[in-house]
């Protein structure tokens, strides 16, 4: 059930209205039912997988919580909980990649293996709720939270439907108590949530979904495109993936806020970052902080020698690349970002103001966009070939002219740029809410009509699945 589908526009109002209508002591059960119904609408069997991941994390944390000090049982419970929790992710997401890599290696050394090819469909959202469950187990082991004794309440934490499929990745310390708290209908939160959802639909339907076929036209026929087309498509993909993923986060956060529940911020104008390090403080915040807290810092973080610090950075970003996809191009993408951060560590910091900051923002955007080539390409060889086209065939290509000039999409991008710049120092919702009632409602109606005319019912509109569902 996509957030952009009519089914969701029926599902969510029913869930929200009944949430406030039923007695408080039953609301969490209603949300649990809604989460499993939402997830199983994709495939009924997915509910079994979601429950298994939930049960493993709950049971492992329960043993940890009941074990004293640094007992072997406590450590074994952590190891088993993490490994079992990762086992589903490894099987569904990486088994085909490992088998293909092993086959290629054996062929290279002269052997002819008879390893059967596998084609496994990755259940949507698996990477996100697996990490959320793993984070919970580790938090219990560290003593940051107490183990939840009620399996059903823990199941709600893992399956809360707004952020189930693509985050933001929740932390039990903040999200679990919020899900259990009493939330009466709050008009201010409801209108803030609806405004966030409206912005999410705008980014997804007006910008991301219009950009997707233009990007695909270049990346799917990369052998025949000119270098300038690769550059334009890559810059457009940078906008597409931002709008696509930030749209999902806005829709998830907005839907939760309507019910009075707070989800963590996931994007903070990332393309206005003046360094790659700052970019990762603004992009996919819930995942980048997850890797920081559960991988980078346990490895030693930056409180070690410079060489080990760089090792920790590279390991973290290589794992991050592999999390995004079981392919060497994603590993290259992660390695490139790791190298960016190591390179920045050698450069002396300077005041980030005025023209200097503008130049750094532009350079960071170029570096991040270049890395997106590896992320979007259909394999590592395809990425390298496309980069070669930029420098060896900048103007000539067999593919005809691709019309990157779509007025509605370009208008959407312009609005996005100004909105992000304004949001750096101001609250856009306050600007809207302080207007007179007539002005506010005129804006709401105009925005909805605009999205319907050029999104849902646009002549060249093709609804697309959210990009991060693939990961």
Catalytic residues: 324
Decide: residue 237, CB within 10 A, 0-12 exposed, 13-18 middle, 19+ buried.
Answer: buried
Q: Longest Cα pair distance anywhere in the chain, in angstroms?
A: 76
Q: Which residue in the block uniquely carries the two structure tokens 């989800």?
A: 263
Closest C-alpha among 469, 444, 459 to residue 247: 469
Locate 93 and state its tokens: 């997401």
Locate 444 and state its tokens: 């709401």
Q: How many CB atoms lie within 10 A of CB 418?
A: 10
Report long-range pairs for 11-15 (Cβ below 8 Å, ≥24 apart). 11/38, 12/255, 15/161
Q: How many CB atoms lie within 10 A of CB 225?
A: 24
> Over the chain, what HEC string results?
CCCCCHHHHHHHHHHHHHHHHCCHHHHHHHHHHHHHHHHHCCCCCHHHHHHHHHHHHHHHHHHHHHCCCCCHHHHHHHHHHHHHHHHHHHHHHHHHHHHHHHHHHHHHCCCCCCCCCCCCCCCCCHHHHHHHHHHHHHHHHHCCCCCCCCHHHHHHHHHCHHHCCCCCCCCHHHHHHHHHCCCCCCHHHHHHHHHHHHHHHHHHHHHHHHHHHHHHHHHCCHHHCCHHHHHHHHHHHHHHHHHHHHHHHHHHHHHHHHCCCCCCCCCCCHHHCCCHHHHHHHCCHHHHHHHHHHHHHHHCCCCCCHHHHHHHHHHHHHHHHHHHCCCHHHHHHHHHHHHHHHHHHHCCCCCCCHHHHHHHHHHHHHHHHHHHHHHHCCCHHHHHHHHHHHHHCCCCCCCCCCCCCCHHHHHHHHHHHHHHHHHCCCCHHHHHHCCCHHHHHHHHHHHHHHHHHHHHCCCCCCCCCCHHHHC
Closest C-alpha among 233, 214, 213 to residue 382: 233
């Amino acid at each position: 059930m996509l957030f952009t589908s009519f089914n969701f526009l029926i599902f969510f109002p029913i869930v929200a209205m009944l949430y406030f209508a039923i007695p408080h002591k039953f609301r969490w059960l209603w949300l649990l039912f809604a989460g499993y119904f939402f997830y199983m609408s994709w495939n009924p069997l997915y509910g079994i997988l979601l429950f298994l991941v939930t049960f493993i994390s709950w049971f492992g944390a329960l043993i940890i919580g009941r074990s004293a000090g640094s007992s072997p049982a406590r450590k074994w419970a952590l190891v088993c909980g993490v490994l079992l929790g990762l086992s589903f992710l490894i099987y569904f997401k990486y088994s085909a990649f490992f088998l293909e890599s092993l086959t290629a290696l054996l062929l290279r050394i002269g052997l002819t293996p008879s390893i059967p090819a596998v084609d496994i469909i990755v259940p949507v959202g698996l990477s996100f709720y697996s990490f959320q469950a793993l984070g919970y187990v580790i938090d219990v082991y560290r003593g940051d939270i107490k183990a939840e004794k009620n399996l059903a309440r823990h199941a709600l934490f893992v399956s809360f439907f707004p952020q189930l499929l693509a985050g933001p990745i929740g932390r039990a310390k903040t999200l679990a108590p919020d899900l259990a708290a009493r939330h009466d209908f709050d008009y201010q939160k409801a209108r803030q949530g609806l405004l966030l959802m409206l912005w999410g639909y705008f980014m997804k339907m007006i910008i991301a979904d219009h950009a997707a076929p233009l990007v695909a036209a270049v990346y799917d026929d990369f052998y025949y495109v000119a270098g300038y087309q690769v550059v334009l498509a890559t810059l457009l993909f940078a906008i597409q993936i931002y709008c696509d993923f930030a749209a999902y986060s806005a829709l998830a956060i907005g839907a939760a806020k309507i019910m009075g529940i707070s989800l963590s911020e996931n994007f903070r104008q990332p393309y206005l970052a003046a360094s790659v390090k700052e970019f990762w403080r603004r992009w996919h915040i819930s995942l980048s902080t997850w890797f920081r807290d559960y991988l980078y810092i346990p490895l030693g973080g930056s409180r070690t020698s410079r060489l080990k610090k760089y090792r920790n950075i590279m390991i973290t970003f290589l794992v991050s690349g592999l999390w995004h996809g079981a392919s060497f191009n994603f590993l290259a993408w992660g390695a490139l970002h790791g190298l960016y951060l190591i390179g920045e560590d050698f450069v002396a910091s300077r005041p980030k103001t005025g023209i200097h900051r503008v130049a750094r923002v532009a350079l960071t955007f170029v570096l991040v966009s270049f890395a997106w080539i590896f992320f979007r390409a259909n394999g590592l060889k395809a990425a390298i070939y496309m980069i070669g086209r930029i420098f060896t065939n900048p103007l000539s290509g067999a593919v005809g002219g691709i019309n990157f000039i779509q007025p509605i999409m370009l208008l959407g991008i312009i609005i996005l740029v100004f909105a992000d710049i304004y949001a750096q120092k101001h609250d856009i919702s306050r600007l809207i809410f302080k207007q007179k009632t007539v002005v506010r409602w005129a804006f709401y109606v105009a925005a909805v009509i605009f999205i319907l005319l050029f999104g849902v019912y646009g002549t060249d509109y093709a609804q697309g699945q959210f990009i991060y569902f693939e990961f």
